[in-house]
């Protein structure tokens, strides 16, 4: 069930709702006949828009009317075509949010969207196509590194009756698209309205509850968390830069240690030189004293050989002549 389509008039696409289609069909049938075959899907890129048709509600219940793809058997059949009203409703709500607060597994991310596109077609590397419920393009986030890590793109998938299939999540990751899944299956909303104003009131109410500007947030599951080549290169650069800084710091420390060793060596050299000088002084003193001792010994020998020493010296010393 789709409640919105793009109407092509004079080369320009205009977003309309089932309420607009009902008004034209009932109140301006001639105009409706002219443009009823000019309905297209609401993705932004005109190249990938597909034909839509307006389906009246069963049993005459006009309020249960909806848009559907004219041909449903395209690639990944059923993707984006068989949706509940709740699924469609929350896509519209989230597309209006100006500040996305996302929560998953203890992590938090704030995104300030540049634009949020509904049902955008994404071309995979193998040439196949995938439709994102919501494709968020952003250039500002907190933490800001997600802008570079995800290259400013995030797909938000609405989980009501079924989860995102593993194949789609894997393929999106391989193509560098992060995928966040929001489970809305337990949210209560009504799906019958008196008019477009009644429906708009419910949309505004849920937007206010989910918007980060009002303290709201969206809790879900991060199904794909890619790392862009640019961000990966930046990480490698940062690692190399840190290694270089650490090497430079270690080199500087070694230079300081080497300088300290040189200073210590200089101090030791001066100390050794002082010891050498002192040693020379002591050697000179010893040499001088040795010379003096030798002189005294020589004088003593000469004295012992004199007659006076023989006459008086031995007696004074208590020696007797033999």
Q: Looking at residue 101, what is its pLDDT? A: 97
As a whole number of angstroms, the distance between CA 86 and CA 77 comes to 20
As a whole number of angstroms, the distance between CA 147 and CA 56 comes to 43
Q: Looking at residue 109, what is its pLDDT? A: 97
As a whole number of angstroms, the distance between CA 180 and CA 220 comes to 7
Half-sphere exposure of 313 toward its Cβ, with a 13 Å CA cutoff? 11
321: pLDDT strictly greater than 50: no
Q: What three-state secondary structure class fits 259?
A: helix
Residue, of 309 and 182, whose pLDDT is higher:
182
Query: Residue 213 contacts by C-beta under 8 Å, 6 or more apart in sequence?
Result: 98, 99
203: pLDDT strictly greater than 70: yes
Q: Looking at residue 298, what is its pLDDT? A: 79
Q: Looking at residue 91, what is its pLDDT? A: 95
Q: Looking at residue 131, what is its pLDDT? A: 92
The residues facing 123 across adjacent strands are 129
Q: What mean pLDDT comes out for the span 4-32?
A: 93
Provide the 10 A C-beta neighbour count for residue 83. 22
The residues facing 52 across adjacent strands are 69
33: pLDDT strictly greater than 50: yes
Q: What is the pLDDT of residues 225-263, one digit of tens each?
A: 998 877 777 765 566 567 767 778 888 888 888 888 888
Residue, of 166 and 80, whose pLDDT is higher:
166
Nearest alpha-carbon partner for 54 in 76, 20, 13, 21: 21
Indicate the pTM of the whole model: 0.70
As a whole number of angstroms, the distance between CA 293 and CA 178 comes to 102
- How high is the mean pLDDT of the chain? 86
Q: What is the pLDDT of residues 40-77, one digit of tens each?
A: 999 999 999 999 999 887 766 666 888 988 886 554 44
Q: What is the pLDDT of residues 263-281, one digit of tens each?
A: 888 888 888 888 888 888 8
Q: Looking at residue 76, what is its pLDDT? A: 46
Half-sphere exposure of 280 toward its Cβ, with a 13 Å CA cutoff? 5
As a whole number of angstroms, the distance between CA 216 and CA 99 comes to 9
CB distance 129 to 48 below 8 Å: yes
Q: What mean pLDDT comes out for the span 128-135?
A: 93
Nearest alpha-carbon partner for 91 in 193, 188, 4, 198: 4
As a whole number of angstroms, the distance between CA 219 and CA 180 comes to 9
């Amino acid at each position: 069930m789709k409640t919105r389509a793009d109407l092509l008039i004079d080369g320009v696409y205009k977003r309309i709702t089932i309420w607009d289609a009902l008004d034209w069909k009932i109140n301006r049938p001639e105009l409706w006949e002219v443009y009823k075959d000019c309905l297209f899907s609401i993705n932004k890129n005109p190249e990938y828009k597909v034909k839509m048709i307006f389906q009246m509600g069963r049993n005459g219940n006009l309020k249960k009317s909806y848009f559907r793809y004219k041909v449903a058997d395209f690639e990944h059949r059923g993707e984006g075509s068989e949706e509940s009203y709740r699924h469609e409703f929350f896509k519209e709500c989230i597309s209006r949010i100006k500040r996305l607060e996302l929560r998953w597994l203890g992590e938090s991310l704030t995104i300030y969207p540049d634009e949020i596109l509904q049902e955008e077609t994404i071309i995979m590397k193998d040439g196949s196509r995938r439709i994102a419920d919501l494709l968020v393009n952003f250039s500002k986030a907190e933490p800001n590194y997600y802008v570079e890590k995800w290259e400013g793109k995030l797909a938000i998938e609405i989980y009501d009756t079924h989860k995102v299939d593993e194949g789609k999540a894997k393929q999106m990751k391989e193509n560098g698209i992060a995928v966040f899944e929001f489970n809305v299956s337990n949210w209560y909303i009504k799906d019958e309205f008196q008019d477009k104003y009644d429906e708009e009131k419910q949309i505004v109410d849920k937007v206010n509850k989910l918007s980060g500007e009002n303290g709201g947030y969206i809790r879900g599951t991060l199904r794909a968390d890619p790392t862009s080549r640019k961000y990966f290169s930046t990480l490698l650069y940062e690692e190399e830069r840190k290694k270089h800084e650490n090497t430079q710091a270690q080199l500087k420390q070694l230079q300081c240690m080497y300088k300290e060793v040189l200073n210590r060596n200089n101090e030791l050299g001066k100390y050794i030189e002082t010891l050498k000088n002192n040693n020379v002084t002591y050697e000179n003193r010893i040499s001088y004293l040795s010379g003096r001792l030798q002189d005294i010994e020589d004088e003593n020998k000469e004295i012992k050989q004199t007659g006076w020493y023989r006459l008086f010296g031995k007696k004074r010393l208590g020696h007797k002549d033999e």
